[in-house]
Structure 1
Amino acid sequence: MSATPSHIRVCVVGATGFAGVEVVRLVLAHPDLELAMACDRKAAGVALSDVYPALLGSCAATFSLPDPDAIAAAADLAFLAVPHTASLAITPALLERGVSVVDLSADYRLKDPAVYEAWYKTPHTSPELLAEAVYGLPELNRAALVELGRRRASGKPVLVAAPGCYPTATALAAAPALEAGIVTSSLVVSDAKSGVSGAGRKPSERTHFCHASDSVEAYGVGSHRHTPEMEQTLSAVAGSPVDVVFTPHLVPLKRGLVATVYLEVAPEVTPDQVQAIYEDRYRDEALVSVLPAHAMPSCASVAGTARAQVGVALDARRRHVLVASAAIDNLGKGAAAQAVQCANLVCGLPETAGLDFVAPVV
């Protein structure tokens, strides 16, 4: 299917979920994207505003079944905000019908299907698509996304594998040091905290208010599925294998994520050099800001936005350890906003079109 750059019809699959409805919200305010369809198998026939009353008056759409033929008839681009394996069931059919896909799930992020199968405990049913899927972290992979846009402009459907929230924050924190060649160890430690919405809309014992409120808990220690995604991304940045130790924590927030990353660096590296490396790396990035020396980011400063803030410090007491902290909104730069950022690039639109920049200040 084709559309003019100023009128691109989109479908959001999985629009009852937190990330999916955030994509809907961004599309409704986007100058160049039009919400043509929203899908959820369990809510078919229900108005979006019945599930999310905040949409009343802004969106008159009702949920439809995620049928590939119906999506292809209605939309040029599909955002898939679905659990892992669900994308495997629909992405190949959409691509075959000419619909480009921005997949927010993990199904096409890992290039080695054996790694995917080991961590997600399920066969990868379309490994042939892994080579053509482009990892959608624009600050690290913009050239590939722009090239994907050229392919789409030639009439071919394309596939973007949008990153996970934890890998996004970890990569933004670690990448400048790895690129600069100042890191002396292959070990990267990421200690991260995320709000409850990162666990998805379906409630669980861990995300129940009485459990999550007034408490902080580590989970998935040594076994979280985002670990190989981080290792794949950071190894590509470093140009050599990187080993990641990742510990996520659940914190009593609705949304927000902070990843604090630890990297051993050469003993001659100074705090001023580290600050300059990070400022130079992100100087031209509209959605990533480096804080002044000695300042560290807060997730409140980026809540509800597509932005990331990064702060760096050097701990030279015993080992020369660089501490880099990145704050994002797990539903914004960690999911929906980054997916829209990628869609903008592959659709030939301004990269930041339709994205929120300023968090509420109180």
Structure 2
Amino acid sequence: MKSIRVCIVGATGFAGIELCRLVLAHPCLELVMATDRKAAGTLLSEVYPSFAGACDLELSQPESDLIAQRADVAFLAVPHTASLALAPELLARGVTVLDLSADYRLHDPAVYEAWYETPHTSPELLSQTVYGLPELNRAGLRALAARRAIGETVLVAVPGCYPTATALAATPALEAGLATGDLVISDAISGVSGAGRAPSDRTHFCRANESVQAYGVASHRHTPEMEQTLSEVAGRPISVVFTPHLAPLTRGLLATVYLEAAAGVALADVRRAYEDRYANEPLVTTLPAGEMPATASVFGTARAQVGVALDDRRRKTIVASCAIDNLGKGAASQAVQCANVILGLPETQGLVAPAPLV
């Protein structure tokens, strides 16, 4: 099979460089271009010395004409709002786009504008975009594959890390009708790499080390994405109370969700729902009874682990926890998983390695 040419826009960010690493090891993808506005003209291996001897690409400017000349597929590992201009230009030039920003995740441009405080300049693309969480939306990704096979260019909105873990934790209970009401509570903890490569006062080593801090309380921009996804899963409007926390980890994310259990629900019902829902998912594992996931178990992988319990005191509560790598299943490896589907490749190609033992 001829290699599929890939450009990674925003290659020097943490998600971007993780994409570079995955694409370089992928048997069917060829990294032909990597971009960075500030570091253009510099070798990628100068920014990340671990790439010396493995990749000799010189970073380029993210110019749509140049990307279209060199690449079949572009991964946009860029900050929110940056994709609004670039994605339409690439699609118009025949490039398939997988966008890791939030710019095309929300169906309603008014919701996007309210949370991201900027006009959505290409709302016409929202109806053509597929939300790229394969475990929930594989049919949509396969529909994009069919469109791409007949020559169309397609756009995937790759989910955020917190929404991915929250959705994987909550979906089986909501789909099976085991959770009642319209509220899901998500408490989540992320490693510092989730804040991006640019340093800040909050992510400075002296501030982040030996400390856990809640942030974005009642105001985090991933909230409407979670509400949109879980409402679609449940078939009714769902509100999310979301509290993210920053922990002194380099990478890793743990989301624990709380759902009010429907009348008569027992722990065996909950376990059966989760085991059945993920039984055939190659990258999601439901842990045995009594075990809960740990970020170390999925470090550096495309995998997710889910554990579940039932607090059956006065108000029965389903407690489900999901661990992912925020740069893996929460970003880069999920983007590659989606790319595999829309390119007609095996879904887990290049993604099956387990976490390092030490």
TM-score (norm 1): 0.98
Q: Which runs of 5+ in 1 are unaligned?
A: none
Q: CA deviation at 1:267?
A: 2.9
- Secondary structure at the residue paired with 2:165? helix
Q: Which one of the candidate residues 286, 311, 326 is aligned to 1:315?
A: 311
Q: Which residue of 2 aligns with 1:359?
A: 355
Offset of residue 273 of structure 1: 1.2
Identity percentage over the alignment? 71
Among 30, 49, 58, which residue is 1:53 paired with?
Answer: 49
How far the C-alpha of 1:6 sits from its partner, in A, is: 4.0
2:252 & 2:2 partners in 1: Cα distance? 32
2:76 is aligned to 80
Match of 1:115 among 111, 127, 133: 111
Within the candidate set 259, 284, 301, 1:305 is matched to 301
User: Is 270-279 or 159-168 further displaced after alignment?
Assistant: 270-279
Is this contact kept in 2: 1:22–1:336, CA < 8 A? yes
Distance in 1 of aligned mates of 2:49 and 2:181: 50
Letter in 1 for 2:103: D
Summarize the alignment of residues 212-361 of structure 1 with structure 2, pairs less than 5 Å apart. 212-361=208-357
- The one-character-per-residue Cα deviations of 1:8-54 (angstroms, maximum 9, x if unpaired) are 00100000100000000000000000001001111101000000011
1:115-143 CA deviation, whole Å, 9 max, x = no partner? 00000000000000000010000000000
Question: How far does the alpha carbon of each residue in 1:198-217 deviate from its partner, in whole angstroms, 9 at most, with x for none?
Answer: 00000000000000000000
Q: Which residue of 1 aligns with 2:124?
A: 128
**SS state at 1:34 partner:** strand
- Asked if 2 retains the 8 angstrom alpha-carbon contact of 1:149 and 1:345, the reply is yes
Q: Which moved more, 1:268-277 or 1:8-17?
A: 268-277
1:323 partner amino acid: V
Matches of 2:356 and 2:95, distance apart in 1: 36
Identify the range of structure 1 (159-168 vs 352-361) with the bigger mean alpha-carbon deviation.
352-361
Contact 1:135 1:141 in 2 (8 A): yes
Q: Find runs of 4+ consecutive structure 1 residues off by over 6 angstroms.
A: none
Among residues 35, 38, 61, which one is paired with 2:31 in the alignment? Answer: 35
Counterparts of 1:338 and 1:131, CA distance in 2:
21
State how far apart, in whole Å, the 1-side matches of 2:201 and 2:157 are: 30
Deviation of 1:357 after TM superposition, in Å, equals 2.8
Alpha-carbon separation, structure 2, partners of 1:239 and 1:88: 30
**1:149 aligned residue:** 145
Tell me how large the CA RMSD over aligned residues is.
Answer: 0.6
> Residue 93 of structure 1: SS of its match in structure 2?
helix
Supply the distance in 2 between the matched residues of 1:54 and 1:312 (Cα, whole angstroms).
38
For normalisation by structure 2, the TM-score amounts to: 0.99
Alignment of 1:17-28 (within 5 A): 17-28=13-24
1:360 positional shift: 1.1
Which residue is equivalent to 1:195? Answer: 191
Aligned residue number for residue 140 of structure 1: 136
SS at match of 2:175: helix
Q: CA–CA distance in 2 between the matches of 1:357 and 1:243?
A: 36
SS of the aligned residue for 1:338 comes to helix
List per-residue Cα deviations over 1:286-329 (Å, max 9, x = no partner): 00000001110000000000000000000011211000000000
Give the gaps of 5 or more residues in structure 2: none
Question: Would the aligned equivalents of 1:304 and 1:356 in 2 still touch at CA under 8 Å?
Answer: no
2:85 equivalent in structure 1: 89
